[in-house]
Chains A and B, each alone.
Chain A
Amino acid sequence: EAEVAQSPRYKITEKSQAVAFWCDPISGHATLYWYRQILGQGPELLVQFQDESVVDDSQLPKDRFSAERLKGVDSTLKIQPAELGDSAMYLCASSLGGPQGGYEQYFGPGTRLTVT
């Protein structure tokens, strides 16, 4: 069964350091999402890609966060510099998207980030 892959699974970093997360969506899925999930809360969307283009990054703190999906397949989310409040689970999801349907989002296992 096809799955969304994410790495690393866990990351501990000191504040002010840079950190990067990687996501490989299900093959053929045009839409890719990055979510942040703070402990005890539901996921909140950070950025949405359609192929290699950003569709929505309105909730992405652009002074420190960046995201790219250069070839429209895998994606990287970066934080620089990391702050204590960035400690959370970072989830990647993908969907087929497009007018033919298939809007269900499938999630990867997530990256648990701890900033010390």
Chain B
Amino acid sequence: GEDVEQSLFLSVREGDSSVINCTYTDSSSTYLYWYKQEPGAGLQLLTYIFSNMDMKQDQRLTVLLNKKDKHLSLRIADTQTGDSAIYFCAESIRDYKLSFGAGTTVTVRA
């Protein structure tokens, strides 16, 4: 996970937008992923983006990719208490294996 970096914590007010940022190092990554992990649970695939895309929108989720800067972000619109979790960014490396960041803990406050 040391090749993928994320900020560790984010606190956001309910109803506001959350933006989680990630930087990666492998310029040959074909796919980049966002996963969500709730306490004591496995990882839930939220969305992914192919490396030739700049943006992908899926309901409340928007993924932005800046391939030049190797920067990925996930925006969650209208953040709800159920969005409180740890969010992991991951890049696909050789043979489509995933390299994960350390995760960003998102806390939604009322």
**Contacting pair A43 B100 (CB below 8 A):** yes
Total interface residues on A, using CB and 8 Å?
Answer: 26
**Contacting pair B102 A109 (CB below 8 A):** no
**Contacting pair A103 B102 (CB below 8 A):** no
**Contacting pair A108 B42 (CB below 8 A):** yes
The CA-CA distance from A104 to B52 in the complex, in Å, is: 17
Segment with Cβ contacts to A, from B59-67, B76-84, B88-96: B88-96
The CA-CA distance from A42 to B2 in the complex, in Å, is: 9
Interface residue from A4, A31, A41, A93 paired with B1 (Cβ < 8 Å): A41
Point out the residues of chain B lying under 8 angstroms from A44, CB to CB.
1, 100
**Contacting pair A41 B40 (CB below 8 A):** no
**Contacting pair A45 B102 (CB below 8 A):** no
Point out the residues of chain A lying under 8 angstroms from B41, CB to CB.
109-110
Residue of B nearest to A92 (CB): B42
A25 to chain B, nearest CB (A): 13
A97 to chain B, nearest CB (A): 7
A75 to chain B, nearest CB (A): 15
Q: Which B residues have a C-beta under 8 Å from some C-beta of A?
A: 1, 4, 31, 33, 35, 40-45, 48, 88, 90, 92, 95-98, 100-103
Q: Which A residues have a C-beta under 8 Å from some C-beta of B?
A: 4, 6, 31, 33, 40-45, 48, 55-56, 91, 93, 95, 97, 103-110, 112
Query: Please, could you name 14 A-B residue pairs with CB atoms under 8 Å apart, sorted by A?
Result: A42-B1, A42-B88, A42-B103, A43-B100, A45-B98, A48-B97, A56-B97, A91-B42, A91-B43, A104-B45, A107-B35, A107-B43, A109-B41, A109-B42
